[in-house]
Structure 1
Amino acid sequence: MRLDRFMRIHYPAIAPGRLAALLKHGGLTVAGRRAKPTDRLAAGDLVVLNTPPEPPSPARAGARTGPAAGGGPAPVPLSAAERAFLAAMTVFEDDDLIVFDKPAGLAVHSGSGTRVDLDRLLVRMVSADGDRPVLVHRLDKDTSGLLVAVKRRPLAGVMGKAFATRRVDKEYRAVVAGLPPAEGLIDIAIRKVETSHGGRMAAATPDDPDAQTARTGFRRLAVSADGTAALLALFPETGRTHQLRVHCALTGHPILGDPIYGDPQAAERLLLHAHRLAFRHPRTQTALSLEAPVPDAFFRAMERAPAAFDPSRRPA
């Protein structure tokens, strides 16, 4: 798990900018050393917060302020339009969880060039006791589908661990170029490489010290009328960055509309969707199985499949 994700789960009150400052000045160490927010934690790493979160201002001493009592001004309440936007995305909610069907194009967390993101909306959903929903995993901005948030901080660690230890069954839907086999397992280790367009994932040799084991099961569900595209069910057995996207591309069947690993003009959007999640409720241990309908864009692409995948339009 990346350090910034670990901190969002266990210390949601610490903003990304403050996290960077803590790391820069030695207020947060990993295994006794300074780290970067993007560094990945290893089993047994000791994360030490040497500096507590900023205290509330004197004017509000004794009162819970900011998201999860992290200090700072109280968040601006959500507008009626923002509440309606979140409600339209919600597929499940109880006293402990909210599960969203995130649309493609909505960022999960803030980043360069991001004006609206889901986490910034959740920060403003502070409950009477000062807690606010915390996302326990993430999806790429261009990927749609199921996304889980917990309403109580103690449960964030429980759900975060369930995702990290693969106790959550995930099923995705994707439309890919070409005609892959009826079913199979993609077992290709991957690693991050730097390109002129930024970081990308690529195939790695087994002896590469930066290689990350990655396995994806798949099953072909349908084929377009002209035989140039297929609808797949994808079952990630590991959770690497861009795993599904790069695995499909490495096997010669990139996901349509992928601006990084495929042809961005082959579809109106990245045709990757988190379709189903199955897990135990973090408090009651009830078995939950939730689904988000496959968007219409997938079916439109299957009806108007490109005659061929054009590798000349794949970004370098």
Structure 2
Amino acid sequence: MPPLRIVYQDEYLVAVHKPSGLLVHRTALARGETEFLLQQLRDQLQRRVYPMHRLDRPTSGLIVFGLTPEVARALSESFTERQVEKRYLAVVRGMAPEQDRLDYPLREEDGSRPKAQMPPMPAMTDIRRLDSVELPVRVDRYPQARYSLVEARPLTGRRHQIRRHLSQRGYPVIGDAKHGKGNHNRFFAEQLKAPRLLLAATGLAFDHPVLAKRVMLSCALDDTMTQLFQHFGWAGHLPLDSVRTPPFEPPKVLSSASAI
């Protein structure tokens, strides 16, 4: 197993690229698995690490771990309170809208009880079409097949939120076995060498829980998605591994005099 790609690390936290198909940690829903991101990172760094958010198993991209329980707890609260900006890239079927806010309540999918018994929870995702391509092949009932590159910014954190929202809107993510379309998934797997969910977490921005700075991270795609972007002429949208840490600026409090 190749070493994990570290995008950012300081004495308090570490951000890495999670490969598609790798579980973050052990779960009762995937008994028999022996490879986990948490264990690999621990072995690579030779120290304990503490998860503070999650990525679905088939999703690749940025994930952050605390290097102490206290840091993990503090940053986990930032995720819970929606103080973390998240950016994803997805390849979807069809011509997605130039810009839209998907505001569809979602029921949880934690497997603890039937989904119909779970109450709908508010869920919002902002999407933007960055590019598109039309292929002269019949994959569905049309003589051509259209696909879009979509930027998704979830404003809430429901399970499978981006995948479910895009599917409900009519633009399922390619490679999504549960919410997508099998014929398009097979076409990408067999003809375009892309047999994975084409959804990647490419950006995170958050206030550092210890240091007085804003941490803005960007993460490059894996080889599968990179080659697909190049094939479709989308290379200009390829993100790079990068770190920006502008000084944190706390909200200004206006005095009664300055407010007049």
Quote the Cα distance in structure 2 between the aligned partners of 1:289 and 1:200. Answer: 38
Quote the Cα distance in structure 2 between the aligned partners of 1:273 and 1:209. Answer: 28
Quote the Cα distance in structure 1 between the aligned partners of 2:88 and 2:156. Answer: 13
The amino acid across from 1:275 in the alignment is T
Alignment correspondent of 2:152? 234
Shift of 1:214: 0.6
Shift of 1:301: 4.3
The amino acid across from 1:272 in the alignment is L
User: Using a 3 Å threshold, how does the CA distance of structure 1 residues 122 and 301 change in structure 2: closer, same or farther?
Assistant: closer
Equivalent position SS for 2:3: helix
Q: TM-score by structure 1 length?
A: 0.61
Quote the Cα distance in structure 1 between the aligned partners of 2:72 and 2:58. Answer: 25
Alignment correspondent of 1:165? 81
Correspondence 1:64-213 to 2 at 5 A: 85-86=3-4, 89-111=5-27, 112=30, 113-124=32-43, 125=45, 127=47, 132-192=48-108, 210-213=119-122
Alignment correspondent of 1:258? 176
* Conservation of the 8 A alpha-carbon contact between 1:219 and 1:232: yes
Shift of 1:298: 3.2
Shift of 1:192: 3.9
Quote the Cα distance in structure 1 between the aligned partners of 2:225 and 2:200. Answer: 9
The amino acid across from 2:36 in the alignment is D
User: Using a 3 Å threshold, how does the CA distance of structure 1 residues 163 and 276 change in structure 2: closer, same or farther?
Assistant: same
Q: TM-score by structure 2 length?
A: 0.73
Asked if 1:277 is matched to 2:204, the reply is yes
Quote the Cα distance in structure 1 between the aligned partners of 2:146 and 2:113. Answer: 26
Quote the Cα distance in structure 2 between the aligned partners of 1:297 and 1:230. Answer: 17
Shift of 1:104: 0.7
Match of 2:130 among 201, 214, 221: 221
- The structure whose RCO (Cα within 8 Å, separation 6+) is larger is 2
Equivalent position SS for 2:122: coil
Shift of 1:103: 1.1
Percent identity, aligned pairs only? Answer: 33
Unaligned runs of 5+ in 2: 136-144, 189-194, 233-260
Equivalent position SS for 1:244: helix
Alignment correspondent of 1:27? none
Quote the Cα distance in structure 1 between the aligned partners of 2:38 and 2:106. Answer: 28
Alignment correspondent of 1:68? none
Aligned residue-pair number: 210
Unaligned runs of 5+ in 1: 1-81, 305-316
Shift of 1:156: 1.2
Shift of 1:126: 5.4
Aligned CA RMSD, in angstroms, stands at 2.7
* Conservation of the 8 A alpha-carbon contact between 1:192 and 1:200: no
Quote the Cα distance in structure 1 between the aligned partners of 2:37 and 2:109. Answer: 28
Equivalent position SS for 2:54: coil
